[in-house]
Chain A
Amino acid sequence: MTELSRDALLEIVRDVWERHDPVPEHLVAAMQAAAALADSDLDLELMELVERSTELAGARGSTSYTLRFVHGDTDLLLRIAVDDGRSRVDGWIVPPEPMTIRALPGEQPDTHEAVVSDSGRFALTDLPVGVLRLRLEPHDTARPAFATPAFEI
């Protein structure tokens, strides 16, 4: 029987744990998303919440309410509807401006995005319920991106 060296033993320990308690498949992507989000937030300007409607209870446990955010000359109105554990966000940008809206749902790796129409409208559908924030990226690259504070659906 060969005398196993310290390094060989530690190699066995690594192999055994890698097989018996493997890194969850989603973990790296989730951590990349969380780190990238934190990184991009460092110098992101935040919109200000100026209005929030009371919740309107609908049929079968669905609810909807509105939020209004302001940043500089840009007004953002959101109508949020929750139904059966998923949510839909309808948004209006005033004045209308070409931009991409990205929903950043907490630490989940999947992002939802929409492009603002000529009339300033956009919609994000099938969002998970939970903490959410929207990142607004003007297509005019001279304008820096900005974001809403996190809000809970």
Chain B
Amino acid sequence: MASRQTGTEPDEQPARTSEPWGQATAAFNRWVGGDPAGLDDLVSVMTPVLWHVVRAYRLSESAAEDVIQNTWLALVRRRSAILDPVAVGGWLTTTARREAWRTAGATAPTPVEDEDLAHALPRQRSAEETAVQHDEGDRLWAAVDGLPERCRRLLRVVAFENRPDYRELATELGMPVGSIGPTRGRCLAKLRVALIEAGGI
């Protein structure tokens, strides 16, 4: 994907997520240069990002793992197709998202309630976490979790991807290309309100 659509805001690049992309490019270059450890590092840096992007499509854990594995196999087999090493992170997330979307569409729609219940199950927390942090975390989660499904998915993808391809996102969400930016803005506004109402901030 040497010529990715980068949406309407080319300056968009959240500080924290810019980190894995540079590491991915460096690791990719080492791998292509003949160092197998470069591939290990690339997988280690990008697999967590792919997890969150793919799971935004409400795939089961095992289906998500299959999608991620296929993404890595595709990279290994088609690495010569990646002409610009800087684009390797975007190539991976785009490939994974495409397949996640295909997989999610191919399987029968799962009842939303089940997934919501699973998300609501209490997670193990470290003993050091105080009750205060616990409560704050719950409030933040409630705000994010309570968003409409389209917002939940869009914000999760945008949060973990560097510069998602708006054209593809629009197709996947059944929206006109031009409405992704405004929709994202509305979703962020909804989240802001939910956070304030929940007392999470």
Chain A interfacial positions (CB closer than 8 Å to B): 1-4, 6-7, 9-24, 27-28, 30-32, 34-36, 38-39, 42, 107
Considering only residues 105-160 of chain B, those with a C-beta below 8 Å from chain A are 119, 123, 137, 140-141, 144-145, 155-156, 158-160
Q: How far is the CA of A2 from the CA of B17 in the complex (A)?
A: 23
Are B72 and A13 touching (Cβ within 8 A)? Answer: no
Are B51 and A12 touching (Cβ within 8 A)? Answer: no
B59-78 vs A: 1/0 string, CB under 8 Å?
Answer: 00100010011001101110
Some 15 contacts from A to B, beta carbons below 8 A apart, are A1-B201, A4-B201, A7-B15, A10-B188, A13-B144, A13-B155, A16-B144, A19-B137, A19-B141, A28-B48, A35-B43, A35-B76, A36-B39, A36-B40, A38-B73
Measured as residues with beta carbon below 8 angstroms from the partner, the interface class of chain B is 35 or more
Q: How far is the CA of A24 from the CA of B43 in the complex (A)?
A: 14
Are B16 and A11 touching (Cβ within 8 A)? Answer: yes
Nearest CB of A to B125, in Å: 9
- Contact residue among A11, A23, A35 (Cβ-Cβ distance under 8 Å from B48): A23
- Residue of A with least CB distance to B52: A17
Question: Which of A18, A28, A31, A39 lies at the interface centre, i.e. has the most chain B CB atoms within 10 A of its CB?
Answer: A31
* Contacting residues, chain B, for A20 (C-beta < 8 A): 119, 123, 141, 145
Considering only residues 148-201 of chain B, those with a C-beta below 8 Å from chain A are 155-156, 158-160, 188, 191-192, 195-196, 201
Question: Nearest 6 pairs between A and B by C-beta?
Answer: A13-B159, A38-B76, A10-B159, A35-B72, A23-B51, A16-B144
Nearest CB of B to A37, in Å: 9
> Does B55 belong to the interface (CB within 8 Å)?
yes
Q: How far is the CA of A53 from the CA of B111 in the complex (A)?
A: 48
Q: How far is the CA of A2 from the CA of B201 in the complex (A)?
A: 8
- Contact residue among A12, A16, A24 (Cβ-Cβ distance under 8 Å from B61): A24
Q: How far is the CA of A13 from the CA of B191 in the complex (A)?
A: 9
Given contacts A15-B140, A16-B137, A16-B140, 6 further A-B contacts (CB under 8 A): A4-B192, A18-B52, A32-B39, A35-B40, A38-B73, A39-B39
Are A27 and B68 touching (Cβ within 8 A)? Answer: yes
* Contacting residues, chain B, for A6 (C-beta < 8 A): 188
Are B73 and A34 touching (Cβ within 8 A)? Answer: yes
Q: How far is the CA of A141 from the CA of B52 in the complex (A)?
A: 42
Known interface pairs A28-B47, A35-B43, A38-B76. Does A19 touch B123 (Cβ–Cβ under 8 Å)?
yes
Are B155 and A10 touching (Cβ within 8 A)? Answer: yes
Considering only residues 10-59 of chain B, those with a C-beta below 8 Å from chain A are 14-17, 36, 39-40, 43-44, 47-48, 51-52, 55
Are B188 and A32 touching (Cβ within 8 A)? Answer: no
Q: How far is the CA of A24 from the CA of B14 in the complex (A)?
A: 25
- Contact residue among B52, B69, B195, B201 (Cβ-Cβ distance under 8 Å from A31): B69
* Contacting residues, chain A, for B15 (C-beta < 8 A): 7
* Contacting residues, chain A, for B144 (C-beta < 8 A): 12-13, 16-17
Are B51 and A32 touching (Cβ within 8 A)? Answer: no
Nearest CB of A to B115, in Å: 10
- Contact residue among A12, A24, A34 (Cβ-Cβ distance under 8 Å from B72): A34
